[in-house]
Structure 1
Amino acid sequence: MFSPKYQHIVFGFFMALLMSFLMSAVVSIINIGIPENFLGIWFHAWWTAFIVAFPTVLLVSPLVKRITGLLIRA
């Protein structure tokens, strides 16, 4: 198991993994439908999206936490 100090990285990894997985499927289906080679196309789209999503989640999560903190009453 991981130390609590790595929680933001582990959270970011799984958030990026799942969101890029689902969103790449949705966008692929909208753009091309479900052709015979859909799984290969989807995997390529997902992997590309994940490579961008993971560092993006790590970079923007402190800002999102701050904005959320401003909108939530104590």
Structure 2
Amino acid sequence: MFPMRFQPFIFAFIMSGFMAFLMSGILTFINLGWFDAFIVAWLKAYLYAHACAFPLVFIFAPLSRKITAKLVKADTRAA
């Protein structure tokens, strides 16, 4: 396993991987429809998407956390 200090990098890599995989597949299908080489086109789009998404998730995750913290009210009720 990895030390805790790598958590932000690992999170960004996994999250961007999931999002890039799903979004590249959806957008490939929307733009090109289903065709014989669909999977190849999807995987090629995924490689480009993940290369872009990884640094973007890493950069914008702190901002997203800050905005979320301002939008979500802490529950002060006792459990």
Give the TM-score normalised by the residue count of structure 2: 0.90
Alignment of structure 1 residues 47-58 onto 2, 5 Å: 47-58=47-58
The answer on 1:24 being equivalent to 2:19 is no
CA positional deviation for 1:5: 1.4
The answer on 1:4 being equivalent to 2:18 is no
Alignment correspondent of 1:62: 62
Structure number with larger C-alpha Rg: 2
Q: Which has the higher helix share?
A: 1
Return structure 1 stretches of 4+ with deviation > 2 angstroms.
none
Runs of 5+ in structure 1 lacking a partner?
A: none
- Alignment RMSD (CA, Å): 0.7
Say how many residue pairs are matched: 74
User: What does the per-residue CA deviation read over 1:25-74, in whole Å, with 9 as the maximum and x for residues that have no partner?
Assistant: 00000011111011111111000000000000000001000001101112
Runs of 5+ in structure 2 lacking a partner?
A: 75-79
Q: What amino acid does structure 2 have at the position aligned with 1:36?
A: D
Quick one: higher RCO (CA 8 Å, sep 6+), 1 or 2? 1
Report percent identity of matched pairs. Answer: 38
